[in-house]
Amino acid sequence: MHLTIVNIIIQQVHFDPFSIPSTARIVKKCPSGKAEWNLASSAKNCTSYQLGVTFVYHCLINEFANATVEVCARRVNVLCKNCDAWR
């Protein structure tokens, strides 16, 4: 799975060139399997944003590990074994 490093704080969304802040939304949980992931990704419709790069669906915990956030963001490979968090 590819995760994206972005700069979103749950209380206040800042502009980030790697994400579309207006798509950030707190959700109860992230999808738990491929079928749920595909359904959530289709509902978010991140590929419809035509900004010169391709945006994809992401769902991660926030930096405080007390909420999950879904957002449309660029695809970026994380080259470590740790999952990223929204910052």
Please report the pLDDT score of residue 36 as a whole number: 95
In a domain, 53, yes or no: yes
What pLDDT, in 10s, does the model give residues 21-56?
889 999 999 999 999 999 999 999 999 987 788 899
In a domain, 86, yes or no: no
In this structure, is the dihedral angle defined by the CA atoms of residues 38, 41, 43 and 47, taken in order, positive or negative? negative
Q: Which residue has the higher pLDDT, 57 or 65?
A: 57
Please report the pLDDT score of residue 29 as a whole number: 93
Using pLDDT thresholds of 50, 70 and 90, give the confidence band for residue 85.
Answer: low
HSE toward the beta carbon, residue 2, CA cutoff 13 A: 9
Q: Which residue has the higher pLDDT, 65 or 38?
A: 38
Averaged pLDDT, 57-76:
87
Structural domain of 12: 1-79
The model carries a pTM of: 0.69
In a domain, 14, yes or no: yes
In a domain, 87, yes or no: no
Nearest to 70 by CA among 83, 84, 86: 86
